[in-house]
Amino acid sequence: MRSIKMGLLLVCSLFISVVYSMEMPKMKEIVRPVFPNHRLSMLEVGGIGDGIFDNTAAFERAMEQLEAEGGGRLEVPFGVWLTGPITFRSNVEMHLQLGALILFTPNLDAYPLVKTSFEGQTAFRCQSPISGRGLRNVAITGKGAINGSGDAWRPVKKMKVTEAHWKSLLQSGGGLADPGLWYPTDKALKGANAQWPSDLNEVEQVAYMNSMKDFLRPVMVSFIECSNVWLEGVLFENSPSWNIHPLMCTNVLVEGITVRNPHYAQNGDGLDLESCKNVWVLNSTFDVGDDAICLKSGKDEEGRKRGMPTEQVWVEGCRVFSGHGGFVVGSEMSGGVRDVVVKNCQFIGTDIGLRFKSTRGRGGVVERVWVDGVSMFNIKREAFLFNLYYGQKAPMDGSKEPMTYMASEETPVFKDIYVTNVISNSSERPLLFNGLPEMPISGIRITNSSFSSRLPSYLSESQDVEMENVAFLVEDGPALLFHQVERVAMHRMNLQSKAETAIEIKGDRSKKIQLDGLDVP
C-alpha cells in the first residue's frame, strides 16, 4: 500500500488535464402536442364518479368516440372514477380536473395477461392500468390524481415496514414466500414459488401463467412506440410496479407532475425512460420506493439487438425525496445511453444521489452525460455511484479481482461524464466508483463541487479521472481511496479528514496520479 500524507487542508497548484473538454449536448426543443378542439366529458358516456360504479366500459366508449372524431380532450370531472384498464388512442388528451381521482380497481382479475416488456426484455405481464402502443399525440394533463391500487399487487419485505404494519399485512390474507416476504394473494404467492419452465410454447406459457398471474405486476402507465407523449400536472401514485414507463417513444415531455409510492414499494420506480429519444423532464417531484428518474435501453442480448439507446434527454428542476436513486442510469442499458443533461435538481433523503449501474453481460455504452447543479442532503449511501457489479458483491478495500475476463460486446462501458456544481451535505460516502478490470470507468470530470460524508470516497478500476476545485470533508478515514486507478489529475482540491493520510493508493496497476506537482508513478 502507498499513501500520501497531506494534513487536513490540501491546496493544489498544478493542473494536468487528462479528460478532453466536453460541451453540453444540444437538445431538440419539444413542443407540446396539439389536439383537435373537441371536448368529451366522462358524464356524457355514462360515467359516474362516485367511487363505486365501474367506469371501465365508459372510458372505453369515450376513447372509441374520440378516435372516431379524430381525437380531442377527454374531461374527467371532480369525483372518484373507479375503473379497470384504460387503453389510449391517438390524438387524445385525458384531462383530470381539480379533484378528479382515477382509481384503478384492486380486483386483479380485471387485468388480463398481455405480451409486453418487463425490465428490458419481452415478457407476459398483466395489462397496465393505462396503456397505448404505436400511438401519436397522447397526453395526461390536469390537476387531478391517478392511483394504481398498488397495495393490492405488491409484495412487502418485513425489514422495510414497522412491526404493526407487518402484523396488519399478515392478518389481511395472502401468504409468505419466506419468513420476511409477504404476498397479497394466493396467485401471487404461487408465482413467487413457481419454477417457471422455459420449454413451453407461447400458448402453454399463457395457460401456465394465468394460474399465478397476480405475480406478474404491471407498470401503471405504459406507452410503447409512441410519439409526442405529454404528461403534465397530474399526481401519479401507488403503482403495482414501475409508475411511468415510456418504451421506444420519441418526443416525450414530462412537466410539473408528482410521482409517489410508499418507501417500501418493491420495484416502485418513478419514471423509467427506456430506449426513448428527445425527452424533457421538468419541474417534477418524486417520492418513491425504488429509482426515481431512471434511463434504460433494454437488457443483455435482446437489448443489444434492439439497438435503441435512450438519448437526447434533458432533466431540470426536479426534486427527489425517498428513492433508491435520484437520477439513475441502468442497470438495463444494453442499447446504450447518450447525450443527457441533468440540471438544477434536488435530492433530499434519497438512498443514492447520482446512480450509474450495470454488470457483465449487459454490454452497451453510456456516454456524454452532463450533470450541472444538484444539491443533496441526507443521502443514505453514496452521493455519486458507479457500480458495475450490480446484483453482485463488488471487490472493495483493496481486494484484487483476477484479470480473468476479456472485454467483449457483453461488457458495459461508462465514459465521458461531466459533473459540476454539485453540493452534497451529509452522505455515507461521496464517491464510489467500482469499474471492471477489463473495462474501467473512464473520462469522469468533477468540478466546482463539495461533499461532506462519514466515509471516504473510493475509486476502483477507473481511469482518466479529473477533479478541479472539489472539496471533501470526511469524518472517518482518509478523504480519497484509490485502487487500480490510472491517469488521475486533481487541481485546487480541499481535502479535510481526521486521518493523518489524506489519500491512500492501492493496487499494482495504480499509476499516473498527479496532484500539486506530485506524480505517483
Place of cell 475476463: 405
Q: How is residue 505 written as a grid cell?
A: 493508493
User: Which of 275, 272, 281 is closest to 232 using CA atoms?
Assistant: 281
The β-bridge relationship of strands 181-183 and 175-178 is: antiparallel
- Is residue 456 a contact partner of residue 474, using CB atoms and an 8 Å limit? yes
For residues 374 and 382, give the distance between their C-alpha atoms in angstroms, rounded to a whole number.
Answer: 14
Helix (H) or strand (E) segment spanning residue 463: strand 457-474
Percent helix / strand / coil, the chain, rounded to 5: 10, 45, 40
For residues 80 and 411, give the distance between their C-alpha atoms in angstroms, rounded to a whole number.
Answer: 49
For residues 316 and 451, give the distance between their C-alpha atoms in angstroms, rounded to a whole number.
Answer: 21
- Is residue 42 a contact partner of residue 53, using CB atoms and an 8 Å limit? no
Task: Read off the amino acid at residue 248.
Answer: M
Task: Read off the amino acid at residue 414.
Answer: F
Per the rule left: phi > 0, alpha: psi between -120 and 50, beta: everything else, 371 is: beta
User: Which of 32, 29, 28, 27 is closest to 254 using CA atoms?
Assistant: 32
Q: Which of 214, 290, 291, 416 is catalytic?
A: 290
DSSP lists the bridge partners of residue 371 as 342, 419
- Is residue 318 a contact partner of residue 325, using CB atoms and an 8 Å limit? no
Q: Which of 324, 416, 483, 491 is catalytic?
A: 324
How far is the CA of 380 from the CAs of 324, 395, 425, 446, in angstroms? 9, 21, 11, 21
How many beta carbons lie within 10 A of that of residue 397, not counting itself?
9
For residues 296 and 454, give the distance between their C-alpha atoms in angstroms, rounded to a whole number.
Answer: 31
Q: How is residue 354 written as a grid cell?
A: 447520482
* DSSP classification of residue 409: T
Per the rule left: phi > 0, alpha: psi between -120 and 50, beta: everything else, 363 is: left
Quick check: is 324 catalytic? yes
Q: How is residue 137 written as a grid cell?
A: 399525440
Helix (H) or strand (E) segment spanning residue 304: helix 300-306
Using DSSP, state whether 31 is helix, strand or coil: coil
Place of cell 449536448: 25
The catalytic residues are 290, 324
